[in-house]
């Protein structure tokens, strides 16, 4: 024994710290992440705390708590609440009692953190049994104060919508897609908790118009409330928080967006007969984080994202079929009632030339209606202008070829938009 070398201090402290660090990871996973099927990556995205840091905190690769411990814990608890995890002050206290955290945060700072989380509505006060209630377990005659019942679901919320546009008078076809959306939502609605449906496709293919047509088709007879969110990443948080005003929630005047966000999530968990459309949700994981864990209404995403594995029900839309595209172009150009065979043949050529792309057809129809040119004249102008227009566009594409949006609109859309702009500019 006396001849054995003593362990070096550094080795001893490293091993001790590693054992201590695992307590945080164990609590984080067992209490919060695993029961609610939340990944560390999702927690990082919502909290703003680097995924690498969270990973290290869990695996014990380094000491998890630096001088920003208070702020990191505050962000993590807020993120858990936003992800639908119910938190109590007792649970937070348990986390703070983990040895390495307790050693880094004074009792005063711990109290400040819990008070801040309570004030922000992130944590609730844990229910504690009073002596009177404890006695009643053995003496039923003792009057026990009644525990509040769960809120009764509001089956008939008031009629509310914030749809950005009135029904499109030029909307044509897509009957199969509208039927498919309804059927998919009803299929997922057989359970108490519904699953979202995603509408995916290229830019300008008609995803937004399809979602809008679906909303107008079933509001207010089926859906009493229809909520529309611009889910493009720069506007997502503000657009979602604005639903508090649409719904006239008590928290609508809150300056902190996350408080309004939590109130909206609560409303979606407590009401039925609503439809939420998240338009342009190209960052689907981020958009999904704005949903409650147990929604009681229907959710529709429109997205260009090709990575939609997290959405079990997907509806992909493509270019219009020739007959459908022809009807749309004739309607958009104001020539639907014209039965002339040569005119319809020229219009069919326009549809074929533009690949049946709805946005390109919409621009072409608007141009023809405005300028009163024939379909044949439009074909000639398009073919004459197209090489130069696409050459200029090609230069831009090559310069920004690595940008994720460089293929937002296919070639026919760019050409028709540029043609309309070029000719319109020449008349000024």
Every domain of the chain and the residues it spans = 9-119, 160-316, 322-426
Q: Is the pTM of this model over 0.75?
A: no
Of 93-97, 130-134, 218-222, give the lowest mean pLDDT range: 130-134
Check residue 412 and give its pLDDT: 59
Specify which of 1-5, 52-56, 61-65, 286-290 reaches the highest per-range mean pLDDT: 286-290
Check residue 274 and give its pLDDT: 95
Check residue 17 and give its pLDDT: 38
The top-level CATH class assigned to 160-316 is alpha beta
The whole-angstrom separation of Cα 18 and Cα 60 is: 6
Identical fold, 9-119 and 160-316? no
- pLDDT tens-digit map of 325-383: 999 999 999 999 888 999 999 999 999 999 999 999 999 999 999 999 999 999 998 88
Q: Is the pLDDT of residue 147 over 80?
A: no
DSSP assignment string, 385-400: HHHHHHHHHHHHHHHT
Q: Is the pLDDT of residue 401 over 70?
A: no
Q: How many residues does the chain have?
A: 428
Q: Are strands 274-279 and 197-200 parallel, antiparallel or unpaired?
A: unpaired
Sheet of 160-161, strand order: 160-161, 225-230, 274-279, 298-303, 197-200, 313-316
Q: Is the pLDDT of residue 45 over 50?
A: yes
Identify which has the larger pLDDT, 22 or 168: 168
The whole-angstrom separation of Cα 420 and Cα 362 is: 11
Q: Which residues contact 139 (CB under 8 A, 6 or more apart)?
A: none
CATH 1.20.120 fits 9-119, yes or no: no
- pLDDT tens-digit map of 187-196: 754 444 568 9
- pLDDT tens-digit map of 245-279: 999 999 999 988 888 999 999 999 999 999 999 99
pLDDT band at 81 (very low <50, low <70, confident <90, very high): confident
Burial of residue 37 (CB within 10 Å: 0-12, 13-18, 19+) is exposed
Report which DSSP code applies to 320: P
Q: Is the pLDDT of residue 396 over 50?
A: no
Q: Is the pLDDT of residue 212 over 90?
A: yes
Q: Is the pLDDT of residue 228 over 70?
A: yes
The whole-angstrom separation of Cα 196 and Cα 190 is: 13
Q: Is the pLDDT of residue 415 over 80?
A: no
Backbone angles phi, psi at 154, to 5 degrees: -85, 100
Average confidence (pLDDT) over 114-132: 62
Average confidence (pLDDT) over 141-146: 37
The whole-angstrom separation of Cα 393 and Cα 77 is: 47
How much is the mean pLDDT over the chain? Answer: 75
């Amino acid at each position: 024994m006396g001849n054995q070398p003593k362990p070096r201090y550094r080795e001893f402290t490293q091993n001790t710290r590693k054992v201590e660090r695992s307590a945080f990871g164990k609590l984080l996973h067992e209490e919060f992440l695993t029961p609610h099927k939340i990944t560390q990556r999702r927690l990082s995205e919502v909290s703003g705390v680097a995924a690498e840091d969270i990973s290290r905190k869990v695996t014990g690769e380094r000491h998890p708590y630096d001088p920003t411990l208070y702020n990191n814990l505050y962000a993590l608890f807020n993120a858990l609440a936003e992800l639908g995890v119910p938190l109590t002050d007792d649970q937070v206290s348990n986390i703070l009692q983990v040895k390495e955290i307790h050693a880094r945060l004074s009792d005063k700072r711990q109290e400040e953190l819990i008070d801040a989380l309570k004030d922000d509505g992130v944590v609730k006060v844990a229910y504690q049994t009073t002596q009177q209630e404890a006695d009643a377990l053995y003496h039923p005659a003792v009057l026990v104060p009644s525990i509040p019942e769960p809120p009764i679901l509001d089956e008939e919320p008031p009629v509310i919508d914030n749809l950005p546009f009135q029904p499109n008078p030029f909307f044509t076809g897509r009957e199969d897609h509208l039927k498919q959306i309804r059927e998919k939502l009803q299929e997922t609605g057989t359970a108490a908790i519904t699953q979202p449906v995603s509408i995916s496709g290229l830019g300008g293919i008609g995803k937004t118009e399809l979602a809008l047509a679906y909303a107008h088709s079933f509001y207010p007879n089926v859906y009493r409330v229809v909520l529309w969110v611009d889910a493009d990443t720069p506007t997502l948080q503000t657009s979602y928080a604005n639903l508090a005003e649409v719904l006239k929630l008590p928290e609508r005047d809150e300056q902190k967006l996350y408080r309004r966000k939590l109130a909206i999530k609560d409303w979606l968990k407590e009401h039925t007969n609503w439809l939420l459309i998240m338009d342009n949700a190209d960052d689907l994981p981020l958009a999904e984080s704005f949903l409650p864990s147990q929604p009681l209404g229907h959710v529709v995403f429109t997205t260009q994202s090709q990575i939609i594995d997290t959405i079990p029900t997907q509806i992909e839309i493509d270019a219009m079929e020739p007959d459908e595209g022809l009807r749309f172009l004739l309607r958009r150009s104001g020539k639907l009632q014209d039965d002339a065979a040569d005119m319809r043949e020229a219009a069919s050529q326009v549809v074929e030339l533009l690949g049946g792309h709805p946005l390109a057809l919409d621009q072409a129809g608007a141009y023809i209606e405005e300028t009163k040119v024939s379909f044949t004249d439009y074909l000639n102008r398009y073919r004459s202008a197209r090489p130069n227009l696409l050459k200029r566009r090609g230069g831009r594409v090559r310069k920004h070829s690595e940008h994720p949006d460089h293929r937002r609109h296919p070639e026919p859309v760019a050409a028709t938009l540029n043609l309309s702009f070029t000719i319109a500019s020449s008349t000024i």
